[in-house]
Amino acid sequence: MSTPVLEISDLHMRIDEKQILKGLTLTIKGGEIHAVMGPNGTGKTSLAQCLMGHPRYQITGGSVRLDGQDMLAMKPDERARHGLFLAMQYPSEISGVTTANFLRAAINARREDGSSISLKEFRDRLDEVMRYLDMDPKFANRYLNEGFSGGEKKRNEILQMLMLKPRIAILDEIDSGLDIDAIKVVSKGVNSLKGADFGALIITHYQRILDYVRPDFVHIMVDGTIVKSGGPELALELDKKGYEWVRTELAQSTNQA
């Protein structure tokens, strides 16, 4: 499988009358881990959801391409079939649909030749991944996210990611509300996919997860655009100094200009 390239360029997007993204540019390639950090309400989740194709957002400019293909022209399911994955900040609860049935349907939907995975092969893989993620096998037969704790939902997102093997994964606050053991498990899951045919964008507020999933690039997002990019050290600096530091720096640089 070829190395994926997700190119977001000069993306503008709004909800109703409110402009959320104001010219955001970012390229994620296979083999790379990117982290995006930024204050509450700055548009991180909106970015993630609109990359995945949530109909609520209106794109007002720019482009999103995966391997050169126009993602914005595709529906969410087509984007998924092209290898995009979004672990959601707040995954929905789906009553009456078991995690196993759903995952099997999702795997079958992605098979290009229309053949479906055999029950045995599916079960074996599911068992294996669940064991790897320290998940109780009972979760497979529970209704998708219904009554799951915050941490269980996040683990379930990672389970889905490992089962679906995306090429580019966007993880929106996959670490929020997790205890340290759970963070380790989730990180182990992400790291297991690492390689030239996998790239990830990790949206987070905390340095903690980045101790386990080493980012190659860290971006700071404020008010709908990326204002500063750097290596892993940027996250550490941000952790120490807080967003005020970025804001002051920003103000200074615009004054100088």
Partner 1 sequence: MSEMILDQTSQAELNSLVEERFGHEPEWSLKRRREAVHALLNLDWPRLERTPLKKRKLDQIALFQAVPAPGVRPTPAPDGWAEIWLDNNQVVSVSVPDTLSQKGVRLEALNEALGDPEVEAQLGRLLGQDEDKVAALNGALWQGGVFLRVPAHLREVVQVSIRCHATAEAQAVFSKNLIICGSESHVVVTQRLETDDGGMKTMLSENTEIIVEDGGRVDFGAIQQCAPTVEGFIHRSGALGHDAVLNWNIGEFGSGLVVSDHVSHLNEPGASTASTTVFFGAGSQHQDYSAKSYHHAPHTTSNMVARGVMKNKARSVFTGLTQIEAGAKGSDGRQKEQTLMLSGDARADAIPSLIIDERDVFAAHAASAGPIDRAAVFYLTSRGLSEAEAERMIVHGFLAPVIDSIALPELRDEVWDAVERKIRA
Ligand X SMILES: Nc1ncnc2c1ncn2[C@@H]1O[C@H](COP(=O)(O)OP(=O)(O)OP(=O)(O)O)[C@@H](O)[C@H]1O
- State which residue, 41 or 242, has the beta carbon closest to ligand X: 41
| Residue 54 interacts with, from Mg ion, partner 1, ligand X, none (CB under 5-8 Å by kind) | partner 1
Does position 167 interact with ligand X (CB under 6 A)? The reply is: no
150 binds ligand X (CB under 6 A): no
Total residues in contact with ligand X, by rule CB under 6 A: 13
Bridge-based pairing of strands 225-230 and 69-70 is unpaired
Say which residues have a Cβ less than 8 Å from residue 98's Cβ, sequence separation at least 6: 140, 141, 142, 143, 144
- Which DSSP string do the residues of 105-127 spell out, in sequence order? HHHHHH-TT-----HHHHHHHHH
Using CB under 5 A as the binding rule, the residues of this chain from 89 to 108 that contact Mg ion are 89
184 binds partner 1 (CB under 8 A): no
Instruction: Give the list of residues 6+ apart from residue 58 with CB closer than 8 angstroms, or none.
Output: 13, 14, 15
Residue list 33-72, contact with ligand X (CB under 6 A):
38, 40-46, 56
Write out the residues near partner 1 by the rule CB under 8 A: 49, 52-55, 75-77, 79-81, 85-86, 88, 91-97, 102, 105-106, 109-110, 143, 160, 164
Residues at the interface with ligand X (CB under 6 A): 15, 18, 20, 38, 40-46, 56, 89
